Amino acid sequence: MFDIERWQEIFDTIRKNKLRTFLTGLSVASGIFILVILLGFGQGMQNGIAREFEEDASNRIVVWTQVTTKEYKGLNPGRTIQMRNDNFDYIQTRFSDQLEARSAMFVVRNALVNYKKESVGYNVQGVHDGYQLVENQYMSQGRYINYKDQKNVSKVAVISNTIKKEIFKHDEDPLGEYLDISGIKFKVVGVYGDMGGEREEERIFIPMSTAQRVFNGADRVNNLYYTLKPVENFDQAVAESKEFSNQTKRYLQEAHTVAPDDTSAINVFNTLEEVKRFFNLITGIKLFFWFVGICTIIAGVVGVSNIMLIVVKERTREIGVRKALGAKPWSIVGMILHEAIFVTAISGFAGLIFSMALLEIFGPYIEVDYILNPSVNFNVAVSTVFVLIFAGAVAGFFPAWRAANIHVIDALRDE
């Protein structure tokens, strides 16, 4: 039942001790503010990491080779390992039931690209049709390289949105036009965009078979790219991709006579393993943020408890008079608790509103390395405030209980 006299007493006490009440509320509000901001930036880090990995397929696996660093089976270290078409064919046959997309790559070295009077230097790479999915590319015009291009060794090319802007006029349609790549004419059949942005659009793609045959690649392969079929949960996906990576590496080590413990010759990058590593790191950072925020809140709650002890000490004679006039112990407890809960609740919600407002206003504009749009779950934040209010009630209970158990004679003698 609403007791207006009780609230009048609370406001009178606050008015008499404005600075003390303000500092107590500030410590509580700052605890909630710090916790919400820290949680927001923890979520922002998760958003930023997720965006970094969205630039390519999230389950991408890349294989490349370097030189051996160890002697093995009579072969000296320092050998350059060169993958071949047979390696690519074997892997896609052996793991056909697991693979979603696959592509080998042959990099055309020192390619010079000419269009009319324009002469530019872009990376020219031979790939299979599955490379579009691996790189998370989308088509703006035309089509991507397909199986027919690969089979017929077609002289076709796919350029990027960036390249289109740089070498074609504003109103010129690039489809059907011909690019001169190191003296060979290639017909433009498509324009792609990359989720990674313009930095990923400095490349021209041609069929793998054409790149090898026209530019003296024989059956050499520079890189292998794969994505695995989706599975039910993230942990299973990580386990399967890790097993695929390990088996692929073992096969290539055996095929090229590389020592099993040579960590340089055969290299496999597994995006899912990196994602899991980063997410585990973020989870640890979030737990640390929770720890710091909760410690700050505890400091505020301790402040509330100390203030309530001071209040009880200052109002000892008043409490004695109340008890002498017949006040029940629980009414004394309620009087102290009301003030503790009121100060804690107002301060907690003030800190919550201020921190949420900052994240809502400025969060969408924060976009730095690995931090994107810091935000916090509203339900989690509100639940934290209610936990804080409960903690404030507990903090105020002990001073209140002490006040309720003061003997009337002792209370009246207090100076």
- Structure tokens, 374: 């810091």
Q: pLDDT at position 1, please?
A: 44
> Is the model more confident about 326 or about 137?
137
Q: How many CB atoms lie within 10 A of CB 227?
A: 24
Residue 202 is given by DSSP the state S
Q: Which domain covers residue 116, as residue numbers?
A: 101-228
| Listed range (154-168, 239-253, 363-377) with the worst mean pLDDT | 363-377
More reliable by pLDDT, 371 or 65: 65
51, 226, 228 from 236: Cα distances, Å: 22, 17, 12
Which positions ≥6 away from 398 have C-beta within 8 Å?
305
Distance (Å) of CA 347 to CA 14, 146, 403: 13, 63, 24
The two tokens of residue 371 are 């931090």
String of DSSP letters for 372-385: ES----HHHHHHHH
pLDDT the model gives residue 2: 54
| For the ranges 96-100, 103-107, 280-284, the one whose mean pLDDT is highest | 103-107
Of 10 and 349, more confident:
349
Do 210 and 187 share a domain, yes or no?
yes
If asked whether residues 221 and 128 sit together in one domain, one would say yes
Task: Return the percentage of the chain with pLDDT > 90, whole number.
Answer: 33
In a domain? residue 320: yes
Does position 328 have pLDDT exceeding 90, yes or no? no
Q: What is the mean pLDDT of residues 3-10?
A: 69
Classify residue 57: in a domain, yes or no.
no
Rg for the chain, CA atoms, rounded: 34
Q: Which residues contact 184 (CB under 8 A, 6 or more apart)?
A: 155, 214
Q: Average pLDDT of 292-303?
A: 78
Global pTM value: 0.66
Inside any domain, residue 236: yes
User: Whole-angstrom Cα distance, residue 286 to residue 379?
Assistant: 17
Is 14 a residue whose pLDDT tops 50?
Answer: yes
Q: Are residues 303 and 389 in the same domain?
A: yes
pLDDT, one tens digit per residue, over 185-212 is 999 999 999 877 777 888 999 999 999 9
Buried b (16+ CB within 10 A) or exposed e, 277-316: ebeeebeeebeebeeebbebbeebbebbbebbbebbeebb
Same domain? 107 vs 211: yes
**Residue 143's pLDDT band (boundaries 50, 70, 90)?**
very high
Pairing of strands 178-181, 137-142: unpaired
- Cα gap 121→128, rounded to integer Å: 22
**pLDDT at residue 377 above 90?**
no
Check whether residue 86 and residue 112 sit in a common domain: no
- Supply the pLDDT for residue 388: 79
| Whether residue 162 sits in one domain with residue 108 | yes
- Residue, of 80 and 373, whose pLDDT is higher: 80
Q: Are 228 and 273 in contact (CB under 8 A)?
A: no
Q: What is the mean pLDDT of residues 374-396?
A: 79
The answer to whether residue 136 is domain-embedded is: yes
Is the per-residue pLDDT at 152 higher than 60?
A: yes
Per-residue pLDDT band at 50 (split at 50, 70, 90)? low
Kind of pairing, strands 156-160 and 99-108? unpaired
Token pair for residue 233?
């949960």
Q: What percent of the chain has pLDDT over 70?
A: 86
Closest by CA position to 411, among listed 305, 329, 342, 304: 329
Q: What's the pLDDT at 221?
A: 96
Residue 301 sits in the same domain as residue 398: yes
Residue 412: pLDDT band (50, 70, 90) is low
The residue count of the chain comes to 415
Residue with the larger pLDDT of the pair 397 and 42: 42
Whether residues 112 and 189 share a domain: the answer is yes
Task: Give the least confident one: 13-22, 116-125, 268-277.
Answer: 13-22
Same domain, 319 and 339: yes
Minimum mean pLDDT range among 6-20, 217-231, 350-364? 6-20
* Top-confidence residue, 234 or 355: 355
Per DSSP, 196 falls in state T
CA 283 to chain CA mean position, Å: 10
Shared domain for 214 and 142, answered yes or no, is yes
Average pLDDT, stretch 271-294?
Answer: 79
- Kindly tell me if the per-residue pLDDT of 410 is higher than 60: no
Residue at 270 is within a domain: no
pLDDT at 53: 57
- What is residue 267's DSSP assignment? E
- Classify residue 332: in a domain, yes or no: yes
The most confident of 40-49, 224-233, 314-323, 367-376, by mean pLDDT: 224-233
pLDDT at 195 (0 to 100): 77
In a domain, 272, yes or no: no
Q: Are residues 138 and 43 in the same domain?
A: no
Cα–Cα distance list, 389 to 25, 31, 39, 263, 349 (Å): 12, 12, 19, 56, 10
Number of domains in the chain: 3
Asked whether the predicted pLDDT for residue 280 surpasses 50, the reply is yes
Residues 235 and 171 in one domain: no
